[in-house]
Structure 1
């Protein structure tokens, strides 16, 4: 059982406060974090690249912004000038951006120092951060378990204290899954809140509105700080919690596998009600049906691109040949990506829209539900759900459980926030860590776009209730 407790480490806000000390030195701080990364990299493999010299060079001309001197990581798929984006694939032709993506430019302008790039699953499309180019990323709380994906490397670096914060992306839980599994905070904003230009992948279809870029941090207050930089906006003052509605999802199709998840959820609800939030039940009857429609929608937008990327580097790729390589222990692509392609060629072939008219009808169903749930949440509603119904499983198990047809009651809360394009934040419940494994559960708070300030205020109250006193933010 791991003794690592991310909540007990200084968060980014505390690190900024350390600058007031007489003996504070940015170079010493950066070297300390690089040393921590050097310690964990051989065991956990969270970084696809350590940008040691680049980080030192940044110190020489560091802007005095709100993130001044904070060492951070960014996901390998977010564009940095001169740094190749490979998405962990040996087949895809690397993309080398000529300039920083807007999100990278914004955190640099705010004074953050990018010292590493976070490892991802191949094509950033599964919940296990493993790929044939850079290898397997392990959970810092228990290396025998998954770190989650697709922003797994960044969550590991944040949880271990190697960086002050990370920046990831989330299309079906890719920020919140690794945050939950590693015991830290993960915030998925609304899709359009943070610019995605210069970030991979570029999606032409409707599922681009499922994809968002956001922060992974050790505290909610840090998530607010970094989000304001990423989004380029200053959030308004949060309303008092007593003016907000706490939405209980009646008959939501989720199922917990560990008692600690329900305990953390109940404690979060109690804390919010104690601060005056008014409980209100709402039905989310469309969740189960729409879960089955997510894969067809994703395949409509992405399947052809996957094959194009697998052949873009000049190597031939054929699914049957890859199946033989997988069977004989000589895989060319990651097992999770292979499972996606097999699903696409079998069940997905039957459910994927075959015409533009079918695709438009499918999009219409998602848009109708998006409008419905945003209306339910309104300007003052906060929905409380578990982030997931499971704790971090052993390596290999997450792909087997998540890449299967039909409703997955352990993951259904995550997906709702993507296809309805709702801001959502995952908060660890360390006070209710599982007695058998020491792993923390995670709860999730959700709002309609535009109500982020209230969401973060409620999440900060929940974090205080779910964190042991010595680590409360």
Structure 2
């Protein structure tokens, strides 16, 4: 399909712009200082258990909770300050209280399982969520010292179910980048290769869970912030149908129409933990989903789309990722006797433009979303990206190059006219809604490539469109790991369902884990 003159100009501009700032970053900021290696193998078998199995062992007094927590808090993936140390101490006290509770319970294991399904299970929390007594900065130097006074609803619900928070994990500055890096806590690495990124913005969650430094975690997703870290780190992550899991008490706050695209959801190493986590996190909205419905995979309709059709903003999907997605389709057909239909939706090539346009739309009262430069300056005056760029060149800016780049792009009117983009989104929405219905599953790439090296997303800033478009469409998606690729890095695929059909994608995730092996310990390869 021929490109319009406007599209060609945009491509040239963005590629030159990204290349310029990637070069500037190399010149003035340097590269991440890490040698090419991965974490050592996990030595304690308790750290390799799913949350459901660990909770069962705890209820049966087969696990010493305090010893278990001690082993986990030896990891250094959590953002650290005085409050983090106090959270670790509190976790040990809470583990001791679990022991006491089990000793005093007279109703038996079944009563505890029903009332506290995650009793004693260690939990990590993305730093953009409010976790009482913990840092609540979203990686902004200007918010240093801000501490959460309440628990965000999904966190409170998991705590009420018995989970023990160990701390909060690193994110990208203001949650708007695909690499978890900020100048308050530093940069997070991928446990499979410390020269690689763990993704963003829930990158700390992806990294710590993949490294077995926590058992379950909480993430949020407005452009792929659960699914990209889950993909890069070889774990499971679920972007819930919007509106099911509360997104309150997160920072930055939603504005414009962001609440329509933002989802909170579970992240974990094992598919069997996704469903019970979601049942808890959904709280009073759990009845919106059919999570107790038994799913017969043989009665589902399956579709696969190997790439976005050649978007000018994204790089081509790598051969190994297209190959593994093809193998998934072949196994589905062989094991279940279903037919996986390969489809093409031309509007997908406009995924980035659709995401960009809809993220900028005003709310129902006509109020536009808050500017990124305003968020950068919180709690003071808005930042001036050009000035921050000059400061960055001499190492004086409190902001990452990614944040500065986003602030600069915001100053340039790049969005295509609504008259061009809106019909494409509506056509794509109609086609996918009709295709998936209440019994359809779509396989779609999680990203064009496996985890890139540190800072390389600056050169390829729009590859997130593979996940971002599904936020705008409001569909539930489960990211599923599919083993390791040629470079020893995780492979994966997005499993997409129709609206409110989260139970279908979660059931497919369990099948794919059994078929392709699920999470692989980083140090074991």
Residue 291 (structure 1) aligns with: 352
Report the counterpart of residue 262 of structure 1 in structure 2.
322
Q: What's the counterpart of residue 301 of structure 2? A: 245
1:56 aligned to which of 81, 84, 92: 92
Correspondent of 1:401 among 460, 464, 467: 460
- Secondary structure at the residue paired with 2:459? helix
Alignment of 1:414-433 (within 5 A): 414-430=467-483, 433=484
Contact 1:264 1:466 in 2 (8 A): no
Q: Please state if 1:457 is matched with 2:507.
A: yes
**Which stretch shifts more, 250-259 or 23-32?**
250-259
Structure 1 partner of 2:118: 67
Q: CA deviation at 1:11?
A: 2.3
Q: CA deviation at 1:171?
A: 0.7
Question: Which residue, out of 209, 227, 230, partners 2:278?
Answer: 227
Match of 2:408, SS state, is helix
Instruction: Please say if residues 370 and 421 of structure 1, whose CA atoms lie closer than 8 Å, have aligned partners that are also in contact.
Output: no
Aligned length: 448
Shift of 1:352: 7.5
CA distance in 1, matches of 2:50, 2:316: 30
Q: CA deviation at 1:58?
A: 3.1
Report Cα offsets for 1:225-264 as digits up to 9, x if no partner: 2111111337123321110000123774266554331232
* 1:253–1:412 Cα contact (<8 Å) kept: no
Aligned to 1:351: 415
Deviation at 1:5, TM superposition (A): 7.3
Write out aligned runs for 1:29-428 (5 A): 29-35=68-74, 37=75, 41=76, 45-47=77-79, 50=84, 51-59=87-95, 64=112, 65-92=116-143, 96-232=147-283, 233=286, 235-249=291-305, 252-253=308-309, 258-273=318-333, 274-300=335-361, 304-314=370-380, 317-346=383-412, 349-351=413-415, 366=425, 369-403=428-462, 408=463, 411-428=464-481
RMSD (CA atoms): 2.9
Structure 2 unpaired stretches of 5+: 1-36, 102-111, 363-367
CA shift in 2, pair 1:307/1:460, >3 Å: same
Answer with 201-210 or 365-374: which moved more. Answer: 365-374
TM-score, normalised via structure 2 length: 0.78
1:439 matched to which residue of 2? 489
Query: 2:139, 2:199 → 1: CA distance?
Result: 15
Q: Is the 8 A contact 2:235 2:519 kept in 1?
A: no
Query: Structure 1 residues 250, 56: CA separation in 2 closer, same or farther (over 3 Å shift)?
Result: closer
- Kindly indicate whether the alpha-carbon contact (under 8 Å) linking 1:267 and 1:465 is maintained by their aligned counterparts in 2: no
Where 2:89 maps in the other structure, the secondary structure is helix
CA distance in 2, matches of 1:440, 1:469: 9
Single out whichever of 119-128 and 57-66 deviates more from structure 2.
Answer: 57-66
Report the TM-score, using the length of structure 1 for normalisation: 0.86
**Counterparts of 2:383 and 2:357 in 1: how far apart (Å)?**
22
Separation of aligned partners in 2, 1:470 and 1:135: 26
Quote the offset at 1:426 in angstroms.
1.0
State the 1:350 CA deviation.
4.2
Distance in 2 (alpha carbons) for counterparts of 1:67 and 1:281: 40
Corresponding residue number in structure 1 for 2:48: 9
